[in-house]
Structure 1
Amino acid sequence: MLRYLTAGESHGRGLSIIIEGLPAGVPLAEEDINNWLARRQGGYGRGGRMAIEQDRAQILAGVRGGLTLGSPISLFIANRDWENWQEIMAPGPAARAERVVTRPRPGHADLPGGLKYHQTDLRNILERASARETAARVAAGAVAAALLQELAINLAFHVVRIGPVAVPGPVAWEAACRSLESPVYCADGETGRAMVAAIEEARRQGDTLGGTVEVQVRGVPAGLGSHVQWDRRLDGRLAQALMSIPAIKGVEIGAGFGLAALPGSQAHDAIAYREGQGFYHSANRAGGLEGGMTNGETLVIRAAMKPIPTLMHPLPSVDFLTKKPAVASVERSDVCAVPAAAVVAAAAVALVLAGAVLEQFGGDYLPVLKERLEDYRRYLQNPHEGQL
């Protein structure tokens, strides 16, 4: 199994990541991870924190000579802002009780977390609940993506919507692969410019914007996941991974919610067969997943992100200690982090898919895993040959 854990607070010393289950022999360099981290920090609409941080991952364990060892991989991303917070966020008893937060922000983890963990300073909640943690997830996803790339499974991501502005129709794979050319990671140039204008208007109003991101994956063989138990269904695992990203409030696969408005005759993808290619579908409304398993088509999955809850004109709230009416606290934040969410979503998808591949084909050494997957792909091109 491929699994990972992260640790660290937004203004702590840094973020730690441990990844277990990657086979030996996977090429991996710090720059591979740092390219992903740079994409997460980019995108129009980011705030002051991104001007401070320049995320760089250090590989502390599990890699030698540019290749994974099969042992746990340990990564660390330092927080440059720690210099300004080390006395407040110190782990010892001498930590200074400054910048205390008692006015919970609507839409954030402040209130439920403070109640659950019996806190009097909500900073003890928001520091870990902060989307800063997603830098660690992106680093882990970059490692998973390095494995997938070796297996000819490739990811693309792009922004479908920011606030009221949306791409007018489906986005082809080639266009999605070029999304990083846009300041908002939008595959359509005209729509991207309108998104930038919407972000600027929200900035002038002291408001924030959410949106929708899409991840596409090519080269995924049919049969990953399973229908036999609820927790082995790959669509469920992908949805959970995306829903766990801060501010994500909805996930759809393929045509998703749009299928609910169609009759069955228009909702499903007809099946065909071609010698040397195997089974395929006439369309991809299912988004590459049927019955909890991949069906060989391009995986298409979208996630909807709500607007960031930290507002320059904060909403009404109640002081956590005095119980008196107050306005919500204000932390340094972004106007729009939807482009960054696209990168985080791609990392989350990479982690789930890499885990599914390893579960199905096993192998503690990359060449062994490759051989098993290639044998399976040959089977898919002409299934049951000689068996009938």
Structure 2
Amino acid sequence: MRYLTAGESHGPQLTTIIEGVPSLVPLTAEDINEDLARRQKGHGRGRRMQIEKDQVQIKSGVRHGATLGSPITLVVENKDWTHWTEIMGAEPIAEEKQDDVRRKVTRPRPGHADLVGGMKYGHRDLRNILERSSARETTVRVAAGAVARKVLAELGITVAGHVLEIGGIRAESPAYESLQELKETTEASPVRTMDEEAGKKMMQAIDDAKKNGDSIGGVVEVIVEGMPAGLGSFAQYDQKLDAKLAQAIVSINAFKGVEFGIGFEAARRFGSDVHDEILWTEERGYYRSTNNLGGFEGGMTTGMPIVVRGVMKPIPTLYKPLASVDIESKEPFSASVERSDSCAVPAASVVAEAVVAWELAKAIVAQFGHDRFDVIKAQLAEHNERTRQF
């Protein structure tokens, strides 16, 4: 399985083409639109989310509610395109109109891709960088992730995400009976946390940051239950599944770190207080007494819940701008403001769910078959029985 995304923040649409999804997976637009709507919510989102109402159009690869095995094309239109048709149009514009139409950007914003992207691709108009490097691109990554989530759900695998920390305010570790309970509770929270008191403080911190022209980041956690043991590999560095998940998390805009299980806390403990002891029963097969390693050993899944966290830096577009340099005049200035959120951590937790779901579904399809979903289901069931009795 693989996918590519295309489109600019203020272009006509965002597109993803997905290859390798097996045939016979139940899939409708509503399966995808649910996650697209979740991505747009959250305390701290900016005006762009009031303009867009993201809805997917399935252009290929699905017929009568089931995947065909052929490439799936998903399109999400940008409603704001109507205000940018000349500025972002594909056709050349007359030289005498360029100053009026282009809205040229020559002042790079600290923390963004503007300056180094311009250097890399030779663009003197940095709008050519910021339009694609925008987190708007994550819209269709969430769409692709929703397809992967559907694959996993049909195999009894559940993915849920929530917010652990915003602006230094940390929620208590959530207690829940099931991931479904976690999902329902966090969906009712404007900051996607199970800790109601911490949630109130987080919202206040977001409001204070916005009032001060600033932004704040945080930490999100994704939990996956139902994954079989033995996915991934120890044999080569690039086949380790936790490494693939780490890359996927850090690929999300503004994410700067990742950890599994107790993560960096492991550096402060003895080995006897870190490693998960192995147990076995006839009913469960092998399992661990604890899950400090977050569902991975040797780059492979253990069958325990996968627990992965990512840290998101504050969004770098500030209404209290930082110092930068104009690439044309080389004069110092205070960085210009593009429309932005004061905090996108709650929305980022949905993106994190999507990229985790994608990597796990990809691993399952690679290990248990490529073409037919019914064959994958049967092979996964056989694998689970073998590992239980190993």
Q: Of 189, 192, 201, which aligns to 1:182?
A: 189
Asked if 1:308 is matched to 2:315, the reply is yes
Q: How many pairs were matched up?
A: 382
Moved more, 212-221 or 160-169: 160-169
Q: State the match for 1:347 in structure 2.
A: 354
Specify the alignment match of 2:33 in structure 1.
Answer: 34
**Counterpart residue number, 2:368:** 361
Q: Report how far residue 170 of structure 1 moved.
A: 5.2
Residue 333 of structure 1 aligns to a residue whose secondary structure is coil
- Pairing of 1:263-274 with structure 2 (within 5 A): 263-274=270-281
Q: Distance in 1 between matches of 2:328 and 2:39?
A: 36
**Residue in 2 aligned with 1:386?**
none
What is the Cα deviation at residue 116 of structure 1? 0.7
Alignment of 1:92-131 (within 5 A): 92-94=91-93, 96=98, 97-131=101-135
Q: Distance in 2 between matches of 1:171 and 1:98?
A: 52
TM, length-normalised to structure 1: 0.97
Counterpart position of 2:148: 144
Distance verdict in 2 for CA 1:135–1:16, change over 3 Å:
same
Please tell me the residue identity of whatever aligns with 1:121.
Answer: D
Which whole-Å CA distance do the structure 2 matches of 1:363 and 1:249 have between them? 33
Structure 1 residue 98: Cα displacement: 2.8
Structure 2 contact 20–370 (Cα < 8 Å) conserved = no
Runs of 4+ aligned structure 1 residues displaced above 2 Å come to 95-98, 168-178
CA-based RMSD of the aligned residues comes to 1.1
Which 5+ residue runs of structure 1 have no aligned equivalent?
384-388
Matched position secondary structure for 2:224: strand
Whichever residue aligns with residue 352 of structure 1, its letter is E
Match of 2:161 among 157, 160, 167: 157
- What SS does the aligned partner of 2:103 have? coil
TM-score, normalised by the number of residues in structure 2: 0.96
The offset of 1:277, in angstroms, is: 1.2
| Number of the residue aligned with 1:320 | 327
Deviation per residue, 1:24-69 (Å, 9 max, x gap): 1011100110000000000110000000000001000000000000
The match for 2:60 is 61
Structure 2 gap ranges (5+): none
Q: How far is 1:171 from its partner?
A: 5.0
Q: CA 1:330/1:223 → structure 2, altered by over 3 Å: closer, same or farther?
A: same
Q: 2:305 aligns with which of 295, 298, 310?
A: 298
Structure 1: how far apart are the matches of 2:249 and 2:384?
28
Could you tell me how far 1:276 is from its partner in structure 2?
2.4
On the 8 A contact 1:277/1:382 being kept in 2, the answer is no
Alpha-carbon distance between aligned partners in 2 of 1:72 and 1:214, rounded to the nearest angstrom? 31
Contact 2:106/2:328 (<8 A) preserved = yes
